[in-house]
Structures are given as C-alpha cells and as structure tokens.
Amino acid sequence: MKIGAAAMVATAALLAFDAAGESVEVRKKAFVVMLDGCRADVVENAAAPNLRMLMDGKWQPGYKCAWSLSANTILDAPTISGPNHLSIATGVTGAKSGQKGNEPNQCDHTKWPSWLSRLVAAQPGKKALFMYSWKWDESISPDPNVKFVFGKDAANAAEMPKLLSSPDAPDAVMWYIDWPDHGGHGFGYYPYSTGYLNTVHLADEGIGNALRAIAARPTFANEDWLVIVVADHGGYAKTHGLMHGHATTIPFIVCGRNVAAGRIAETPHNNCVAATALAHFGVDTSGMELDGGAVGAAAPAETPQRTLKDALAVYLPFDGKAIANLAADTVSPVASGSASLVDKGGFVGGALRVEPSTNGVSFVRLDGTEHLEFENGGDFAIAAWVRMDVAQNGDPVVVANKDWKSGRNPGILVTAAKGFERAKTPGVCFNAGTKGGRLDLGPFDVERGKWTFYAVTRDRHGSVRFYQGGQDGWLYWLSEDAKEINASTGLPFYIGQDATGAYPRAFDGFVDDFALWTRTLSHDDVRRIFESGRKGIPLGELL
C-alpha cells in the first residue's frame, strides 16, 4: 500500500557546524527494529517506556515521531514470520516475494533484494548490518556487502549498543528481536499475560539501550538518524495464525529529524519500512515496484476538536421507564418481543434486557437510522457496554444494519458469538460487507457475567478499529484498512437483531449506554468513554 503523496526523500547532504563554526556534512544513519509477535495494543497497555518516548517525540532534541498503533501486516500471506520478515526487508507483499509460510525462502532476491542491499548498491561505501536470532533470516537477500550477525536475543541485545556506539558503526542497521513472540507462544499474546509483558519489556529495554548508545555517539550532532520500530505480526491466545485482527494489527513507529510528528493518518503496512528507509538516504525508489510507500513525511491533517455531542445520532442510557433516545428526535427506538428495561443490574443504573421470546424475535429497532448521512462517505462510530451471562446460540447480533444471512451483504454488524478461524471458542466479532466480499475483525473472548465495553469506528482514510475493554482496565483493539465498506444501507439499525428483524439465532444478554455517531471517534475519544465508564460515569455525563 502506498502511504501519502509525499515520499520522505531527504536532501543528499545536510550541513551542520562544528565547534569552530566550520560546516560539516551530516551523515545519514538508519536503525530499524523488527519485533516478532508484538501486538499494537501491548505498546500502550504495557510498560514500554522507550517506545513511548519515541512516540512522544522525547528521544532527542530535533527528532520527531510519526506513529500508528493501528498498522497492518501484509494481508496476502499468513500472519507468520517468513512472509512478513520478507515484507519488512524487501518492501513487497507475499504475491511478489512468493513466500506463503516458513518453509525455505522462496523469494527471488535478484528481483526483490532487501533495502539494505539496495542501499549499498545505490551508495557504495555505505556499511549495512542485519542482526537476527532466527536462523531462517540468514536467507533474506544474502549479500557480501551486508554483514549478517546471528545470535540469541540476550547476546544480540548486549552487542547492539557496542556496535552502535563504535566510531565504525554501520550506516544502516536492521535488528530482529524474537522475545515478544517467544512470550506470546509460551504465555498467550494478550497484554494481561505477565509472561508476554515481560518479553515485551525485555525488547523495549534492549531498544532503549541501543537508542542511548546512538545518542551518546561523539558524532551524533553531525548525524541524521532514522529510527523505525515495526512488528511482523501480533497474536491471539498462544497462536498468531489468525488473519484480520489480533495477528494483523501491529505498531509502526518512525522517528527522525525530517519526520512530521503525530499519528499516521492512513493504515501503514509493514512493507512500508523499505521505502521509508531508502527515502531517508535519498535513494530513488520509483522504479523498484515496491508495494509499500514511504511514511513519515506528510504531516497529519489537522483534526478539529469536537465534543462527544457532535454528530451523535443515538444515545440510549436505558434508564427510566421507557427506552428513549437522548441524542436526537430524528431517531426513535422501538422495542419488540421481550426486549425491555431492567431498572437494576445495568452497567450504570438500568439496562436493556434482550432475550429469546416465544416467537424468537426480540430487539430494539432504531427507526430513522436508515436515513442517516455518514460523514466522509461512511465514517461511523458505535459504543456500548454488553453483558452475556449464558453461552450464545449460533452467531446472534448485538447491533447491525445489515441482513446477516451473508457477511457479504452491505452494512455493518457486531455479532455476540461467532466462530472464527482457529479460535477455540466463539467470540465477539465485527463484520462488514465490502465491494470484494466481507471483512471480519475478531474474535474478542467473552467473559460470561461481566460487563464489557465494545466500540467500533471507521475514519475517512478507511481504517476500521474494533475495541474491547474490561472492568480490569485493559483496552484492546483490532484494526484494518477497509476503504470499501460503507455504513449506509438504507436499512435501520437494530439492537439484538439484524436489519431484517427476523434472524433465527436470538441474542441473549444485556446492553447499556449505547451510542451511535455519524462520524469517526478518535482513539482518545474511545479511551475516554471507556475509562469514564469503568469509573461509573455514563456517556451522558460526558456530553
């Protein structure tokens, strides 16, 4: 995927001045870290102070950071290391590399060399190094002009600062760290897993030591460093074979002197690393047929400050004697079957109880939502607290404005308990119809009897983020580039049913503090709603 119109092509020679006032050439350097098995949400949930320091633009004066915690792996190959290591190194997807698994390297590196090889070919005299702890990586673009160093993570982490602090340090370094993936396979990839967190902490500490070594270089003031941190994939439970969600949502961090600070607006993929690094060195990539474009140069568009009231079409606190929409009089909730209010036991106050009725149909229909106009051709946001005390039968609906007979049908939907690829138990998933078929993000595990926060939002760049938050404080999210979906179907939204009102598998649970916007919500908006809810503050009080 190409990111932005402006490539991050730097000037061939920047000038600085030494203590005597003489001009000296600024030497360009690059440090790229490949984290194995690092989910995007673990960076925010875990204690990763060095990654946060980069993201906050606090590494060194004059260095700024562009970042995304909603980046993606390549989506035309399994979410495993082989094809994604090649994606990071070469800048192409699985379709071009030919790599679909961890079998012996199938990439034609004469056609698709690594960015390190491209750099030393374009600028003879540059020194490049690839340090790794997975033997398979020694087959990535073998090149006598690129130094390959193999060792265990602990040994590599001790050696890397020494290499970077040396006067003879390489100009371009790529460092693969296996720790997070090892922790995920052993303890589970969720951020609440202490064993997983510990391995992420080890990786973060190693990165921090390397960054301190770079900054301590006597020649650092006359150097222009580009630092990139990216993951090959995320993970779910103790595996990372799931597409579209836990395994495909990764961090992407770019820090440098010529980087535009802020959250990367579009959805970068890990194949954007090669073009970004080469552009930093001034290497022309226009004829290389790379799939990933350079990231970090284009400043994010200014996002106007908006209150949570803005573009709020539906707010149902489910308190009182009647189901009322407190957001706008253009949408009216209509209950059917056994959908009714309970005055106690809600997440905050009362709640909506939806359960199978004698005719199997029970829902709240939101009349008027079929006429809503969504911003930017399809931006939307939905947030609610949900509780399920019993196992769900089949794949019932929490909220939808689509016919659930096929996931390819237009519209959006959150299902309460859908089976999903290699997940052992059904979980909560988001589905949307696309021009080419369907998008599924999930699953989130269901904790029976516990109130759980869910939100889903899509922005003007086509990025969809699906969230789950628990009363324990963890907030998880999955993301994918999905420009082809649209929230408008001409059908009303239903709570507890699909948009036909007659889906045979009935939802059995509780919903509270439901809201629907005709615009996107920022990540900070979602976290604010979630954190307030955990403290017993409903959305209505934030409005």
In a domain, residue 391? The reply is yes
Domain end among 280, 300, 333: 280
Range with lowest mean pLDDT among 132-136, 228-232, 424-428, 459-463: 424-428
Question: Tell me, what amino acid is at 462?
Answer: G
According to the model, what pLDDT value does residue 47 have?
A: 75
Domain count, the chain: 2
**How confident is the model over 322-356, as pLDDT tens digits?**
999 999 999 999 999 999 999 888 888 899 999 98
Mean pLDDT computed over 130-150? 97
Regarding whether 51 and 122 lie in a shared domain, the answer is yes
**How confident is the model over 475-515, as pLDDT tens digits?**
999 999 887 887 889 999 999 999 999 999 999 999 999 99
According to the model, what pLDDT value does residue 17 have?
A: 46
Rounded-to-integer distance, Cα 128 and Cα 482, Å: 36
Contact in structure between 489 and 401 (CB atoms under 8 Å): yes
Domain end among 258, 280, 302: 280
* DSSP letter for each residue of 143-194: -TTEEEEE--HHHHHHHHHHHHHSTT--SEEEEEE-HHHHHHHHH-SSTT-H
Regarding whether 321 and 262 lie in a shared domain, the answer is no
Q: Is the pLDDT of residue 226 over 70?
A: yes
**How confident is the model over 365-393, as pLDDT tens digits?**
999 999 999 998 889 999 999 999 999 98
Smallest CA-to-CA distance from 187 within 203, 200, 206, 175 is with 200
Rounded-to-integer distance, Cα 228 and Cα 278, Å: 12
Regarding whether 206 and 98 lie in a shared domain, the answer is yes
Regarding whether 176 and 97 lie in a shared domain, the answer is yes
Compute how many other C-beta atoms are within 10 angstroms of the C-beta atom of residue 145. 14
According to the model, what pLDDT value does residue 24 have?
A: 60
* The dihedral formed by the CA atoms of 466, 531, 67 and 457, expressed in degrees to the nearest 10: 30
Phi, psi for residue 190 in degrees, rounded to 5: -65, 145
In a domain, residue 239? The reply is yes
Mean pLDDT computed over 282-309? 89
Regarding whether 317 and 275 lie in a shared domain, the answer is no
Regarding whether 210 and 260 lie in a shared domain, the answer is yes
Regarding whether 325 and 265 lie in a shared domain, the answer is no
Contact in structure between 446 and 428 (CB atoms under 8 Å): yes
Regarding whether 412 and 265 lie in a shared domain, the answer is no
Regarding whether 359 and 251 lie in a shared domain, the answer is no
**How confident is the model over 401-439, as pLDDT tens digits?**
999 999 999 999 999 988 766 666 789 999 999 887 899
Highest mean pLDDT among 149-153, 263-267, 488-492: 149-153
Range with lowest mean pLDDT among 63-67, 371-375, 443-447: 443-447
Q: Is the pLDDT of residue 522 over 70?
A: yes
CATH of the domain at 222: 3.40.720.10
Q: Which residue has the higher pLDDT, 261 or 19?
A: 261
Instruction: Output the average pLDDT for the chain.
Output: 91
The model's confidence at residue 6, banded by pLDDT at 50, 70 and 90, is very low
Regarding whether 377 and 523 lie in a shared domain, the answer is yes
Smallest CA-to-CA distance from 542 within 210, 261, 310, 244 is with 310
According to the model, what pLDDT value does residue 102 have?
A: 93
According to the model, what pLDDT value does residue 297 have?
A: 84
CA angle 103, 105, 111 (to 5 degrees): 150
In a domain, residue 303? The reply is no
Q: Where do we find the tokens 């019932």? A: 396
According to the model, what pLDDT value does residue 10 have?
A: 39
In a domain, residue 293? The reply is no
In a domain, residue 295? The reply is no
Regarding whether 504 and 407 lie in a shared domain, the answer is yes
The dihedral built from the CA positions of residue 306, 309, 313 and 317, taken in this order, carries a sign that is: positive
CATH of the domain at 444: 2.60.120.200
* Element at 68 (helix H, strand E): strand 64-72
The model's confidence at residue 32, banded by pLDDT at 50, 70 and 90, is very high
- pLDDT > 70 fraction of the chain, expressed in percent and rounded: 93
In a domain, residue 11? The reply is no
**How confident is the model over 154-179, as pLDDT tens digits?**
999 999 999 999 999 999 999 999 99
Domain end among 240, 264, 280: 280
According to the model, what pLDDT value does residue 3 have?
A: 44
SS3 for 385-447 is EEECCCCCCCCCEEEECCCCCCCCCCCEEEEEEECCCCCCCCEEEEEEEECCEEEEEEEECCC
**How confident is the model over 101-113, as pLDDT tens digits?**
899 999 999 999 9
Report pTM. Answer: 0.93
Regarding whether 239 and 375 lie in a shared domain, the answer is no
Q: Is the pLDDT of residue 474 over 50?
A: yes
Domain that holds residue 337: 312-542
